[in-house]
Chain A
């Protein structure tokens, strides 16, 4: 017998009741917890901002899309950076003229390493946990782009913010099989005496630009 056959056989031997309608019994498990948020738009955003601040995320708030180039320039300037990466699909109209952008046309890692910042959009955000969710396609960029630079600037449209995690995952479920990264604040560790240190291997700086 192959290992596969042997493991499956010993599972089946061990389980008295053979799998009958697993989908049905899975669906019947009670979801007694909160799945949909109750806050209105303003309260939800306030909640989101509160949680972002709690996790050391920098926040810039604008309203119109036309203000995005200024906000991106401000985020970079604040960090003392003059170069940034973007995905090829990133809208050109949002780019500030004062900054030089390196467009990812399948850049090799060697050309990504060394660029101080990256600007992306996101798929959704969770207020309760201060989390932004990237589905790595289009302007949300490939995974490596959002990982090597030390500063990640992420544009979050206000209507992308959900209150709770369950409703957010429901909203992105159609894209579940794409590479997904959820980001809650900058990279951190508490491995040394449980002292939270901001910034280990991932970006040490995270800026969220809220717009729309």
Chain B
């Protein structure tokens, strides 16, 4: 089994990628602007909900409950979907999901060259790199979400779960459209760019016979699928084609239609700061005379079942992909999504990517956070992301300590030494005295400005006040002495 999560196998470590991103002023301005706008809208729409905390709790509990009974609900979904005329397939990993999709497309679309499929935004298909697999098989995928189109036409990668092209501004988008749509006269006005996308896609919507979608929710008690969107491209893709293939991560199942009363309140407000997104489509199997007459669901594992075992790790699977944690994250705000080396970026990416696949660079992701807690605060299903990050850091350290080079690493030695010092007040005070003497050679104008080793990462761009002559402990002792003398 080979688990693939986007095009990540050769991604650099987060600090390296982040350093490069930080040099791109345009990117940082775009990301700052977009995250500010969504953050403020979200705050506005959450404030008007008196029962927001109760909705978060209920959503969290429903998701935790579903994961604890995941086999039960998947089987129930499969049964009800198939009773309604759908067909459910199971895929262990990315390759298997792509293979199933290609076989289905060949079955309905023929073996000839130039078979086209229309796609509505699905992160899961980016996760399995479906577009690449389809293209390799001679099938042409057409992304229909405006942002996904920008990413696809620009040969780019998504940088945000909800707004994948948030790193591009209107001028950059205009240039991509001018080039790829052969519309040299196009202006950078968002209205014009949107109209160009409408015109470009309209005929493709009408002529294409096969659609591919993801799902926000797969509903066990009805066998229905729900897609949440804004532009109407989702409705086009799940309505117009003769054949619809829906790729669903197994964690997207929810027990009942009634549970939507929670998630359809929390998801739009968290994702885009809207009370409700313009469209939600729900369908169940095949409806004679209305919409696709062949419907296939691919249930994807791709590493997810590995996360079920540990209760802290399992929380990660509660995610409903709203992206609120990205917008809230002060680290994401500075670097944008590409630095995470995974299609899942930001705080949720920092915990999801390393758990789905154990790549070298993903070991740096649990450290791509100050543990400030802003992500946890906004999460509509209460995933304690800082807790999961600390848990994953523990795994990284334990693995490192198994190797000789890990044992001898500067960090490990420093951490062991520090632990030892903190354990004894004698050693602590001795260390303080030594540091007080040692620091004198690094002092410049009364500041520490150029420390060696790991501390150098600090003083390269910040000053450090030297350790004072008298510590709190010394002061306290002298105070006690004085009090004693007075008494």
Q: Which of A109, A183, A185 contacts B206 (CB 8 A)?
A: A109
Q: Is the CB of A179 within 8 A of B257?
A: no
Q: Is the CB of A193 within 8 A of B146?
A: no
CB within 8 Å for A106 and B278 given contacts A147-B235, A189-B146, A202-B232? no
Residue of A nearest to B164 (CB): A191
B412 interface residue, CB < 8 Å from A?
no
8 Å CB interface, B254-269 against A: 255-258, 260-262, 264-265
A142 interface residue, CB < 8 Å from B?
yes
A131 to B264 CA separation, bound complex (whole angstroms): 12
CB within 8 Å for A187 and B278 given contacts A8-B71, A147-B236, A179-B290? yes
Mark A152-176 against chain B: 1 for CB-CB distance below 8 A, else 0: 0000000000000110011001001
Listed stretches B19-27, B189-197, B337-345; interface member: B189-197
Mark A15-51 against chain B: 1 for CB-CB distance below 8 A, else 0: 1010100100110011111110000000000000001
Q: Which of B54, B69, B198, B240 contacts A22 (CB 8 A)?
A: B69
Q: Which of B202, B219, B276, B305 contacts A131 (CB 8 A)?
A: B276
B173 interface residue, CB < 8 Å from A?
yes
A197 to B112 CA separation, bound complex (whole angstroms): 39
B163 interface residue, CB < 8 Å from A?
yes
Residue of B nearest to A180 (CB): B282
A19 to B308 CA separation, bound complex (whole angstroms): 14
Give every chain B residue within 8 A of A22 (Cβ-Cβ): 65, 69, 72-73, 255
Q: Is the CB of B96 within 8 A of A143?
A: no
Q: Is the CB of B72 within 8 A of A200?
A: no
A133 to B428 CA separation, bound complex (whole angstroms): 67
The total of chain B residues at the interface (CB under 8 A) is 93
8 Å CB interface, A168-208 against B: 169-170, 173, 176-195, 197, 199-203
A169 to B260 CA separation, bound complex (whole angstroms): 8
Q: Is the CB of A11 within 8 A of B33?
A: no
B318 interface residue, CB < 8 Å from A?
no
Residue of A nearest to B188 (CB): A192
Give every chain B residue within 8 A of A143 (Cβ-Cβ): 235, 239, 281, 290-291
B474 interface residue, CB < 8 Å from A?
no
Q: Which of A170, A177, A192 contacts B84 (CB 8 A)?
A: A177
Q: Which of B62, B73, B265 contacts A29 (CB 8 A)?
A: B62
A151 interface residue, CB < 8 Å from B?
no
Q: Is the CB of A147 within 8 A of B62?
A: no
Q: Is the CB of B90 within 8 A of A2?
A: yes
A185 to B307 CA separation, bound complex (whole angstroms): 39
The residue among B73, B150, B239, B240 with the most chain A CB atoms within 10 A of its own CB is B239
A62 interface residue, CB < 8 Å from B?
no
Give every chain A residue within 8 A of B230 (Cβ-Cβ): 187-190, 200
Give every chain B residue within 8 A of A12 (Cβ-Cβ): 71
Mark B299-311 against chain A: 1 for CB-CB distance below 8 A, else 0: 1010001101100
CB within 8 Å for A197 and B236 given contacts A8-B74, A30-B61? no
- What are the 3 closest A-B residue pairs judged by CB atoms, nearest first? A202-B232, A14-B308, A32-B54
Known: A10-B301, A177-B223. 14 other contacts (CB 8 A): A6-B92, A11-B308, A14-B309, A17-B68, A26-B62, A26-B255, A31-B54, A110-B206, A126-B276, A128-B275, A130-B275, A193-B34, A201-B201, A202-B278
Interface residues of chain A, those whose CB is within 8 Å of chain B, are: 2-4, 6-8, 10-15, 17, 19, 22, 25-26, 29-35, 51, 55, 106, 109-110, 113, 126, 128-131, 136, 142-144, 147, 165-166, 169-170, 173, 176-195, 197, 199-203
30 contacts between A and B (CB under 8 A): A2-B90, A4-B90, A6-B92, A7-B74, A7-B305, A11-B305, A13-B309, A15-B69, A15-B308, A32-B51, A34-B51, A109-B206, A110-B206, A130-B275, A143-B235, A165-B261, A176-B219, A176-B222, A176-B282, A177-B223, A178-B287, A179-B281, A179-B287, A180-B280, A180-B281, A180-B282, A181-B280, A181-B281, A191-B163, A200-B194
